Amino acid sequence: MTNVKRISSLLLLLTAFIWGTAFVAQSMATDYIGPWTYVFSRYIISATVLIPVSLISSKHYKPKEGEKKGSIRSYLLGGATCGLFLALASVAQQAGIKYTPAGKAGFITALYVVLVPVFSLIIGRTQPKKLWISVVLGVVGLYLISVKEGFSIASSDLLVILCAFIFAFQIMSVDHFSVRLTNPVILANIQFAVVAIITFFGMLTEHTPASAFREAGGSILYAGVLSGAVAYTLQIVAQKNVEPAVASLIMSLEAVFSVLTGFVVLHQMLTVRELVGCALLFLAVVIV
C-alpha cells in the first residue's frame, strides 16, 4: 500500500468515526424536527462552511501532467448526481432513525458495504468469490436485525434499508466523478448545495416552529459541520485514491462507532437476536 492510499484509508476511518457518532445526534434531533427540515438545515451549513475552503483549495489542487482540469459543467454534473443520491439517502435515514435505535440504524446502513461490490460487478468490475459469502451473511444478519414476529419489517427499518441502497449509489458516484475532477473540495461543496436545494422544498411541508430549531440546534450544527462539511469532504478526497469496495468497507465501521456511541450516550440496548444479526452483518463487512 502506497503512502497516498494509506493516508486516504486513515481519512476514511476518520470519516467512519464522525458518521458513527452522528447517528446519536441525528436520533436526538428527531424529537424536535422533521427529516426534510433536518437534512436541509445540516447541509446548508455544510455548503456555507465549505465555501471559503473551496476557494482556498483551488490553489492546491492543480491538474497533473496529462490530466484535464474539468469544466464547470463537469463539476455541476458531478455535484448534482452525488447531491441527489445524498439528499434522498439522508432523508430516508433521518425519517427511519426516529423509530430505529442509533446502533441498529448504523448497522443496517452499513449494508452498502455489500451493495457497492455488487454494483461494481454489474458495471464490469471483477470481484472475488468471497464477496458472495458476504452477501449471504449480510442478508441473514439484516433479517435477524429487521424482521419481527410474523415476518414483518418495521417501516422505519425499511427506510434505513432504502437509505443503504441509495448510499451505495452515492459512493459509486463519488468514485466515478472524484477520479475525473481535479478538485474534490469543490465537488463536495456543490454536492452539499444540491442537497440543500432539493430538501428545501420538502422542508416547506413540515412547518417547523422556531423553538424546534433551538432544541435541535446542537445536533444540526454537529451534523452540518463535522458529519457534513468535514466527513463527506474527506470521503470525496480519499476516494480519489481508494477503490470503492475497499472504501465502503472502511466507512462501514461507522456502524461499530454508532453502536458504541448509542450505548454510551443513549443507553440503547439491542436484543440477543439483534446482536447476532449485527455480528453476522459485521462479519460480512470484514470478509468483503
Q: Domain ranges for the chain, please list them.
A: 3-58+68-287
Q: Which of 130-139, 145-154, 249-258 has the lowest mean pLDDT?
A: 145-154
Closest CA to 239 of 251, 256, 221: 251
Answer yes or no: is pLDDT of 65 > 60: no
Question: Which residues does 154 contact at the CB level (< 8 Å), separation at least 6?
Answer: 99, 100, 146, 148
* pLDDT bracket for residue 194 (50, 70, 90): very high
- Give the pLDDT score at 151: 56
What is the distance between the alpha carbons of residues 275 and 266, in angstroms, rounded to a whole number?
17
What is the distance between the alpha carbons of residues 77 and 227, in angstroms, rounded to a whole number?
23
- Give the pLDDT score at 249: 81
Q: How many CB atoms lie within 10 A of CB 65?
A: 4
What is the distance between the alpha carbons of residues 141 and 278, in angstroms, rounded to a whole number?
6
Q: Dig out the grid coordinates for 138 from the structure.
A: 449480510
Instruction: Give the largest Cα separation in the chain, rounded.
Output: 61
Q: What is the mean pLDDT of residues 125-132?
A: 75
pLDDT tens track for 142-164: 788 766 655 567 777 888 889 99
Please tell me the pTM assigned to this model: 0.85
- Give the pLDDT score at 152: 66
- Give the pLDDT score at 1: 58
Answer yes or no: is pLDDT of 78 > 90: yes
Q: What is the mean pLDDT of residues 75-83?
A: 96
Q: How many CB atoms lie within 10 A of CB 72?
A: 9
